[in-house]
Each structure stands twice: as structure tokens, then as C-alpha cells.
Amino acid sequence: MSRKRHRLVPETFGLKRRRELGDVEADPLRGESVHVAVTRSLRPGSAREAVAEIVRLFPRVLFEDALPPIALRSQVYSLVPDRTVADRQLKALQEQGEIRIVQLGFDLDAQGIMFTEDYRTRVLKACDGRPYAAAVQKFLASVLPACGDLSFQQDQMTQTFGFRDPEITQLVKAGVLTVRDAGSWWLAVPGAGRFIKYFVKGRQAVLSMVRKAKYRELLLSELLGRRAPASVRLGLAYHVHDLIGAQLVDCVSTTSGTLLRLPET
């Protein structure tokens, strides 16, 4: 019983929490490198490394490299243990202009994160040779570095950045802007519709894998070892990070590893 109490006392009291044996073994989410000493350093301490890690998991081949690798905010939460710190770091990265955050339409909480460079190169490649290329290039050159927000207002676009209405229509046609309501637009990724469709289907599929299991719980290693059903195109590890971070499954640490359990509520 005293062992349980040890875990409750926070670090402010100057305690060294006894390293649990679970930390030492390889985290199956990382897949390879089973080295004991190294796994501690592989866990990203910062949001930037978390985003880079998820970007590595993103299947570029599936989208023929036309889509920038997108990570979700919930995936960053699953890798960085403290949510408030993760939020602050993401905000700092957003202000520096290193990442862009995009509102993915299907859920109020789901926000996609990608590196600005990736976004810029992919968008330029997508609009190559099309009639709206000029407007898109003007947008990428003037608006993106200046305004790091998720959405843009009518007066902002026309007055501050000098876009005319036909140009804005071209941007919407190019897929760079999505209409939000009269006079405001979300920043969007051209061609992201397919990604969102695969993502939503895959999330439901992985969640149903846990739901169908006996007692509605699955060991993480077993889940990752199973064959992905056909509707999971983005990879099991990608979806598992998202489920853990969005708290759609509870993570319970057991002697056999991490257990994913559906919450009772």
C-alpha cells in the first residue's frame, strides 16, 4: 500500500520517484531499438520532437507525396506528458512560424499540425501550372509569414494584404482556404479531404478493435502486433497515438506493458 502512495507525491517535495521497471523496456510504439539505456532519451521531451516523430509515422507513399505530413494535436499530447506545457510549446512554435495549425473539419478539438516548410512546398507543387497559381503564390509569400492564425477575416484579407474578391475565390478553389462563414475563412490543406476520410475511418476501426476485445481492453503490444484492418490506411501506431492523446482510451500501466481500456463513462 505504501508503494501506491509513493507515486502520488509530486516532485516539488524533492523526491526521486523510483524508476518503474516498465520504463526500462522498449516502448512498443517506437517499434525498434530495444536498448535499455536509450529508450529514456527517445521519449520526446518537447512538442517539436513529438511533431517530428509523428511526421515520421505519417504514410507519405499513400498520398504520393502531394500532402504535407500532418500530425494531430492529440498525438502531441500522447507523447508530451504535460498538456499545458505541450500547449505552450506548440503556441511558441506557431508564433515563430515553424509550424502551421489547421482546423480539420470533423471535430472541434482536432487540429492538424504540420511544418511550414512542408506545407509551402506541397502547396506550390499542387498549384503548379494551374490558373490560380499566381494568387496562391501571393498568398504564401505575403499572408503566411505575417499571420500565424487558423482563420482569416474578410477585412484582414482585403485591406491588410490587398486581396481582391476574385483572388480570394481562386484561393478557395485551390483548396488553400475553406469557407467558414460569411466573410471568414479557415486555412486549409489542398487535398486533405482524402486524409480526413482515412483518418476518421481508421480512428473508428482502431477504436472498434479495442471495443470488440474481451473486457474492452487490449494490451498495446498486442494491438500493434495485429494485422491492421483494411480501413486503417494511416497505420496503427498513428491512430493509437491519437486515441491515447484524445483520451478516447485509458492507458493503464501493467506488468505486461501498457493496457488500453475503453473508459466506462
Applying CB under 8 A, does 75 fall inside the site for another protein? no
65 vs 250 by CB, closer to another protein: 250
Give the count of residues interacting with another protein (CB under 8 A). 32
Instruction: Check binding of 5 to another protein (CB under 8 A).
Output: yes
Position 265 contacts another protein (CB under 8 A): yes
139 part of the interface to another protein, by CB under 8 A: no
What is the nearest approach in angstroms of another protein to the Cβ of residue 84?
5
- Does 129 interact with another protein (rule: CB under 8 A)? no
Angular region, 31: left φ>0, alpha ψ -120 to 50, beta rest: left
Q: Does 8 bind another protein (CB under 8 A)?
A: yes
- List the one residue from 37, 61, 108, 182 that touches another protein (CB under 8 A): 108
Q: Which is nearer to another protein, 62 or 92 (CB)?
A: 92
Are the C-beta atoms of residues 149 and 101 closer than 8 Å to each other? Answer: no
And the C-alpha cell for 211?
A: 471495443
Distance of CA 213 to the CA centre of its chain: 26
Alpha carbon of 221 to those of 74, 75, 167, 209, 256: distances in Å?
Answer: 20, 18, 51, 13, 9
In the region spanning residues 77 to 96, those forming contacts with another protein, defined by CB under 8 A, are 77, 82-84, 86-88
Interface pick for another protein out of 153, 154, 160, 178 (rule CB under 8 A):
153
Is residue 151 close enough to count as binding another protein by CB under 8 A? yes
Residue from the set 103, 116, 170, 258 that interacts with another protein by CB under 8 A: 103
> In this structure, are residues 249 and 264 in contact, taking their beta carbons and an 8 Å threshold?
no
20 near another protein (CB under 8 A): no
| Rounded Cα distance, 93 and 48, in Å | 8
Residue of the chain from 62, 133, 144, 150 that contacts another protein (CB under 8 A): 150
Give, as ranges, the residues between 159 and 188 that touch another protein (CB under 8 A): 184
Q: What are the CB-based long-range contacts (under 8 Å, 24+) for 52-61? A: 53/79, 54/79, 54/238, 54/241, 55/114, 55/115, 55/118, 57/235, 57/237, 57/238, 57/241, 58/234, 58/238, 59/233, 59/234, 59/235, 59/238
Q: Does 61 bind another protein (CB under 8 A)?
A: no
In angstroms, the CA 195 to CA 219 distance is 27
Which of 115, 152, 195, 199 binds another protein (CB under 8 A)? It is 152
Q: For residue 204, with 0-12 CB atoms within 10 Å meaning exposed, 13-18 middle and 19 or more buried, which class applies?
A: middle
Can you give the binding site for another protein, defined by CB under 8 A?
Answer: 2, 5-6, 8-10, 12-16, 18, 77, 82-84, 86-88, 103, 108, 149-153, 184, 246-247, 263-265
